[in-house]
Amino acid sequence: MAKFKYRMQSILDIKYKLEEQEKIAYGIASQRLAQENEKLQQLMRRRFGYEKRAAELCVGTIDVLQIRENKRAIDTMKSLIRDQIMQVHAAEKNLELARKRLNAVMVERKSHEKLREKAFEAFKVELAAEEAKEIDQLVSFTYHDQK
């Protein structure tokens, strides 16, 4: 029996490898976004702590120096949070780009798999036709031999 050999199997293998690479890149981008979001949450918690401390400093005896220092810390945290929000947005854009690239590679791979399936179906039809031809030849030989 004949064995099916897809003539563009090397291209399909490359598509599989490209898809795996894009999956890895997507995973890395996803991890990066998670890290940036975690940094943002930490900065927000620190700012919340400074704001809570500012409220405590305003009660009881007032120390102007500590209040100023705390206000500078809050302002610094606001600036750091703005910068971190920009980092989060950049990570989100990178994740979206990685998702689009992965999607494009998956579409290419699927189209090559469809081509392989069609080639296999054509191979099966051709193989069935050859087998039918051989059977017809055997039947005709045995029929002629009987006469």
Can you spell out the DSSP letters for 93-129?
A: HHHHHHHHHHHHHHHHHHHHHHHHHHHHHHHHHHHHH
- Is 135 domain-assigned? no
- Is 85 domain-assigned? yes
Q: What is the pLDDT of residue 145?
A: 67
- Is 52 domain-assigned? yes
- Is 122 domain-assigned? no
- Is 96 domain-assigned? yes
Query: CA-to-CA distance for 61 and 63, rounded, in angstroms?
Result: 7
Share of the chain above pLDDT 90, in %: 78
Instruction: Encode pLDDT of 37-61 as tens digits.
Output: 999 999 999 999 999 999 888 888 8
Instruction: Encode pLDDT of 56-75 as tens digits.
Output: 888 888 888 999 999 999 99
The domain containing residue 27 runs over which residues?
Answer: 11-113
The domain spanning residue 88 has which CATH number?
Answer: 1.10.287.1700
Structural domains counted in the chain = 1
Q: What is the pLDDT of residue 147?
A: 59
- Is 43 domain-assigned? yes
